[in-house]
Amino acid sequence: MDNHTSAGQCLRDAIAAEQPLQMVGVINAYCALLAQHAGFKALYLSGAGVANASYGLPDLGLTNIDNVLIDIHRISAASDLPLLVDADTGFGDPAGTAERFIAAGAAGMHIEDQIEQKRCGHRPNKHLVSTEEMCDRIRAAASARNNSDFAIMARTDAFAAEGIDAALERIHRYIEAGAEMVFPEALTELEQYQQITANIDVPVLANITEFGQTQLFSVDELASARVAIALYPLTAFRSMSAAAEQAYTSLRQQGTQKSLLDTMQTREQLYQHLDYYRYEQKIDEVLDDDDK
């Protein structure tokens, strides 16, 4: 991202350049650096990632906008990749949420049509607000943008509760209300994505999350359905968590980490990702100047 291109425009450019755009979830600033160095062109901060990783809580609406903003600030300061952020149901103030996300450095947000006491999109017993109430959320978020490039994405959980036709009807209304991208949650078949993309002209996101309702479609399969964004919200977090659990267990049982060394990122690899030596050189230069 250069100094003259907004974060929102960078997100749009990434979507246009890579079909579908592979967007990966990051739970902290260092993960953002790892994703950027791996070649990804856009990042994602999930509400579950904030709740689970930063606060050790389930994703049941227990965290607030201030919790999310902390992670947005840290991630956007570490990486210049555009960051799409999960805004849940808007935290009771979609307009204020959009304003604060923009100020924190986010490229866009998605807002959903569940009630305030929301559930994970791949869990049962989700309850939706009316289509008009969701449209009010979208209109409020869109009208509050002080940067027209900030992306407003509408997520709908209607498929599980109301079926594909009702989900499509809601999607059309959400686009009319100002949504520039859509996120149909918990679809189960590739044909369902094809049905949606055939009926609308805005980018569609597929949430390719593990252990949920959606199959782990490949980028080629998603491209065939004209999906614009392939989202992997917690893939790295789940992998990291399994590795950490194994490391803690092994260290506790064996009394040494020797058997774990081959599975670790080395100190040198860490330094390369952090650009450690450049920072160290700057400190040495300051110390040399002080000695003169």
Q: Could you confirm whether 268 is annotated as catalytic?
A: no
Tokens 């997100």, residue?
11
Mark whether 120 is an active-site residue: yes
Q: Which of 71, 74, 88, 174 is catalytic?
A: 88
**Annotated catalytic residue 86:** yes
Of 10, 52, 59, 74, the catalytic one is: 59
Identified catalytic residue from 86, 100, 135, 145: 86
Active site residue 248: no
Contact of 159 with 167, CB cutoff 8 Å: yes
Distance (Å, rounded) from C-alpha 213 to C-alpha 10?
Answer: 30
Active site residue 66: no
Q: For this structure, is 185 an active site residue? A: yes
**Whether residue 30 lies in the annotated active site:** no
Which residue among 10, 174, 185, 193 is the active-site one?
Answer: 185
Is residue 10 among the annotated active site residues? no
Active-site residue among 120, 139, 193, 232? 120
Q: Is 112 a catalytic residue?
A: yes
Active site residue 288: no
Does residue 209 contact residue 234 with C-beta atoms inside 8 Å?
yes
| Among 155, 170, 174, 232, the one annotated catalytic | 155
Cα end-to-end span (Å), the chain: 38
Residue in 12, 74, 100, 110 annotated catalytic: 110
Q: Which residues belong to the active site?
A: 44, 59, 86, 88, 110, 112, 120, 155, 185, 207
